Structure 1
Amino acid sequence: MGTDYVHGYTESETRRLSDQAGTLAGLLHGGTQYAPGSRVLEVGCGVGAQTVQLLTRSPGITLTAVDISEESLAEAKRRVAGAAPYGQVEWHHGDLHDLPDAEFDHLFVCFVLEHLPDPVEALQKLREHLRPGGTITVVEGDHGSAIYHPRSEDAQVVIECLNRSQADAGGDALIGRRVQPLLTAAGFTAVVTEPRTVYADETLPHLVDGFTRKTFIAMVGSVRDRSIATGLSTPDAWARGIRDLERTAEPGGTFHYTFFKGVGVR
């Protein structure tokens, strides 16, 4: 099950993923800790930004990290080298139709379902690799939850360009609100989903820089060329929208976004 990764496999995207993982580590991973010796499967590990968090927060686990991109796996191996003493890591190049032939105690899926055309099918496939009583943790964002000041129609247009680009690539930029029904439809039980909200203003400069600028605005910026090439925007309109979006990271600006974290049991 392949995917057109709408943000691209670039150095700037690698930096964005790293900034995002570091800035939001406590927000996204809070409450997730696996016992030593647990067999954990991370699907769509990308460049290893979340892999490091899993290893350092759950020392002693045996982690299998899977990604469809060989380039991303190579970067993940370099990034995780320093965290490897915390646990054992096995790397696997493949997609959801080519997962390791093993049974796991826990599955961790972060920012993956948003890129897939049929997330229920993907979750059902993953469920087959989970032992009875094992858990799955799913983390997804929802770009429709972006609330910001100053409000700007031009800024909203470039956000919608991101949403449209992801939809055209077969994904769903608003999938966060669907985490609970998706897990339930895939056959998981005891599903508990909760919002994880990030809010940034000038009194929280680490979040303004790490999230508003380096995560969200950078994510929108990753689809500039695609949006212009497909006629969703023009160079002038894009420049206006990004400039207005950048004002939310300046003094007097605010930005709010919600992630959704769901846990289910096989």
Structure 2
Amino acid sequence: MGTDYVHGYTTAETRRLTDQAGTLADLLHGDTPYEAGSRVLEVGCGVGAQTVQLLTRSPGIRLTSVDISEESLAHAKARVAAEVPGAEVDWLHADLLGLTPDQLGLFDHLFLCFVLEHLPKPVEALTSLQRLLRPGGSITVIEGDHESAFFHPRSTEAQAVIDCLIDLQAEAGGDSLIGRRLQPLLTDAGYDDVRARPCTVYADETLPHLVDGFTRKTFIAMVESVRDRSLAAGLRTPAQWEQGIRALERAAEPGGTFHYTFFKAVGTQRWSG
């Protein structure tokens, strides 16, 4: 299942993903311990930012990490070698729809973080992945929802550049609002006992690590990644874009506040019979 990664495969995007993973590690991974010796499939590992979290928070797992981008896999391998020395990971360059039990066997757990938002047919992807999960095994899915972003000072100019990201991702076949529908997506794909919950980030000047790590280096950087596409599509003029980004940056300044909600859902593979 080919994807048009709207943020681009750039050095800046690799840095943003790293900042995001580190800043949100406790929020997104705090309640996802996998038992030592269990087989875990990370679908869409990207540059390895979440891979490091999986390995460090669940030592001893038997991890397989797959991605459709060879360049991203190279980054992931280098990152894991540098940050988790001695960790053993089976790396696989493949389209997730092409993964089969005959090729990989069955896994105890599946993990997807910021993957479904880029896929045109997320239920099809989740249904295909179900073939790889042993009966009683778990799937964990984490996604954001860009319409959950609200901030002070309010600004129509800032909202306009956020809307560029939402619109461009939709044009590319994805859905940047997918977090709100994880429970029905997993249920429609046939998983049992699906539970979803919000994971909220709030940042103001009393939380400088979140202002820097999330508001600036994750969210604003994510919006900035679609600048060239937005201008090429005529969604904003250069002056309008700069005005919107500057307005958004005020949320990261003294007196500003920023809020965003991720969603995390967990389901299980049904037992046969």
Instruction: Please state which band the TM-score falls in when normalised by the shorter chain.
Output: over 0.9
2:237 alignment counterpart: 234
2:96 alignment counterpart: 96
Residue 120 (structure 2) pairs with residue 117 (structure 1):
yes
Q: What SS does the corresponding residue of 1:182 show, helix, strand or coil?
A: helix
Q: How many residues align?
A: 266
Contact 1:133–1:265 under 8 Å retained in 2: yes
CA-to-aligned-CA distance 1:7-26 (integer Å, 9 cap, x gap): 00000000000000000000
Report how far residue 96 of structure 1 moved: 1.4
Provide the rounded CA distance (Å) in 1 between the counterparts of 2:97 and 2:41.
14
**Where in structure 2 are the equivalents of 1:212-231 lying within 5 Å?**
212-231=215-234
Report how far residue 87 of structure 1 moved: 4.4
Report how far residue 101 of structure 1 moved: 2.7
Provide the rounded CA distance (Å) in 1 between the counterparts of 2:83 and 2:157.
42
Provide the rounded CA distance (Å) in 1 between the counterparts of 2:207 and 2:243.
25
Report how far residue 88 of structure 1 moved: 2.5
Normalising to structure 2: TM-score of the pair?
0.96
CA-to-aligned-CA distance 1:204-244 (integer Å, 9 cap, x gap): 00000000000000000000000110111110110110000
1:25 alignment counterpart: 25
The gaps in structure 1 that reach 5 residues or longer are none
**Where in structure 2 are the equivalents of 1:24-173 lying within 5 Å?**
24-85=24-85, 87-99=87-99, 100-173=103-176
**Where in structure 2 are the equivalents of 1:203-218 lying within 5 Å?**
203-218=206-221
Contact 1:59–1:86 under 8 Å retained in 2: no
Report how far residue 82 of structure 1 moved: 3.5
Normalising to structure 1: TM-score of the pair?
0.98
Q: What SS does the corresponding residue of 1:92 show, helix, strand or coil?
A: strand
Q: What SS does the corresponding residue of 2:96 show, helix, strand or coil?
A: coil
Q: What SS does the corresponding residue of 1:81 show, helix, strand or coil?
A: helix
Provide the rounded CA distance (Å) in 2 between the counterparts of 1:83 and 1:208.
25
Q: What SS does the corresponding residue of 2:65 show, helix, strand or coil?
A: strand
Contact 1:61–1:87 under 8 Å retained in 2: no
Report how far residue 133 of structure 1 moved: 0.4
Q: What SS does the corresponding residue of 2:3 show, helix, strand or coil?
A: coil
Q: Which runs of 4+ in 1 moved over 6 A?
A: none
CA-to-aligned-CA distance 1:129-175 (integer Å, 9 cap, x gap): 00010000000000010010000000000000000010010000100
Provide the rounded CA distance (Å) in 2 between the counterparts of 1:225 and 1:66.
29
Aligned AA for 1:58? S
